[in-house]
A and B are shown apart, each in its own frame.
Chain A
Amino acid sequence: MKCRTCREPAIIDLPRHNANFCAEHFLQLCRRQVAKAIHDHEMFTASDRILVAVSGGKDSLAVWDLLVDLGYRADGLYIALGIGEYSDESRGYAERFAAERGLVLNVVSLREEYGYDVPTAAKATGRVPCSACGMSKRHLFDKAALDGGYDVVVTGHNLDDEAAVLFGNALRWDVEYLARQLPVLPARHGFPRKVKPLIRLTEREMAAWCVVRGIDYIIEECPMAVGNRHLGYKEALNALEEKSPGTKASYYLGFLDRMAPLLAELAATGADSVRPCARCGAATGVADEHAVDGEIVCAFCRLVERSAAHAPVSVDLVRKKSRAERRATMEVEAR
């Protein structure tokens, strides 16, 4: 196989482009796709200060690398979630990436700064781990961006992520979520702008970016992700993609082009009024607010209160077991 651009030996085949690329021209394709997403959706400019949500996984390290490579000013924020060994290891990848490149990585530890971790929050609040985790991350990224004077928060959501969420929202016809599933969430009072520069690139392309650029990232999965619905949607979409390359891109990018404009009015009505949380001052939407002794207290402060009061819970107690593990446990118990 030869590179489409230079006819040198290829290192990757990209069926959705019906082409193969050498390392240099593969990187060029990725840069162009990111530049196009940033430009088309007016995500940010060279003078903006950018905060990248960094997990130590391929997507967040790739997007950080790409932005710096394209000449943007971007710092990272890593949140130590306290998910056992997975968290310790992923933090190491994030810190090494930043140190090797002389980039600024801020770290917030849930356990050290707020007295809880994700497994304990899940147990204490009865939420599924990803819900307790996602809520904590959203709150802390908003806070860090506002406190640190950043113009925009960048996340590493890629085409596969967005197509899978779109698929889930469409299966449920969750019209309000569909209306707001956009690559740019504008800033509104008390919330920073949030953008997704990787929407035009797949997971496989982002992993390949990391391999070619020599970026070490955590390959192991978060133990809380086992068997979640999101993963099932991705597999379903990839089965379609194998038969018909380009399906994911036409599904999601076609949604942005042709469907999202029809839902724009609905998206605007979702921008409800906000009031400050009496404890932390964070802007709190009407749907999230909750009066405690007559005061508005945000969902994050309520989660912290309940979780910090709870004895620490280990990862194994709250995570779902994979099918293979369940079978193994049943076999042991049957003996």
Chain B
Amino acid sequence: MKVILRNPRREIVIDGRRRVHALLAELDLTREGHLVIRNGTLVPGDAELDRDDVIEIRPVISGGA
């Protein structure tokens, strides 16, 4: 699957299927700090992501005081 990461924007390719929480863990990303979006729709932690999905992992923590 194609995974789009932000700040800075970049793309990586992951082989095979994954559950959302497993993908986050693999990339060392916290659940509380990210949203996972498939084709414009949010997906919860136990959703299964397919080989041909395009996934955006969007960080949600902003630093401005």
Residues of A within 8 A of B (CB): 1, 10-13, 15, 20, 23, 55, 57-59, 130, 134, 160, 165, 202-204, 206-208, 211-212, 219-222, 224-226, 228, 230-231, 234-235, 238-239, 241-242
Contacts and interface: CB of A to CB of B under 8 A. Distances in A.
Interface of B: 6-7, 30-35, 37, 40-47, 58-65
* Residue from the set B33, B34, B37 with the largest chain A CB neighbour count within 10 Å: B33
B5 to A, nearest CB: 11
Given A11-B41, A11-B44, A220-B7, A228 B60 contact: no
Closest 3 CB pairs of A and B: A225-B63, A207-B60, A231-B63
A221 B42 contact: no
B30 A219 contact: no
A248 B41 CA distance: 27
A225 B60 CA distance: 14
A67 B6 CA distance: 29
B7 A219 contact: yes
B19 to A, nearest CB: 11
A211 B44 contact: no
Contacts of A230: 63-65
Highest count of chain B CB atoms <10 Å: which of A10, A15, A134, A212:
A10
Contact of A242 (B6, B32, B37): B32
Name A's interface SS: helix
Contacts of A1: 44-47
A138 B34 CA distance: 30
B42 A211 contact: yes
Contacts of B59: 219
Contact of B45 (A13, A55, A238): A13
Contacts of A234: 61, 63
B43 A235 contact: no
Contact of A241 (B6, B32, B37, B44): B32
Contact of A20 (B33, B37, B44): B44
Contacts of B7: 219-221
B64 A10 contact: no
6 contacts: A11-B42, A59-B62, A225-B62, A230-B65, A238-B30, A242-B31
A13 B59 CA distance: 16
Contacts of B40: 211
A224 B64 CA distance: 8
B44 A207 contact: no
A238 B32 contact: yes
A57 B44 contact: no
A204 B42 contact: no
Contact of A203 (B41, B46, B60, B65): B60
Contact of A231 (B34, B46, B61): B61
A163 B35 CA distance: 20
A20 B43 CA distance: 11
A280 B29 CA distance: 48
Contact of A134 (B32, B37, B42, B65): B65
Contact of B61 (A12, A55, A160, A226): A160
Contacts of A12: 42, 44
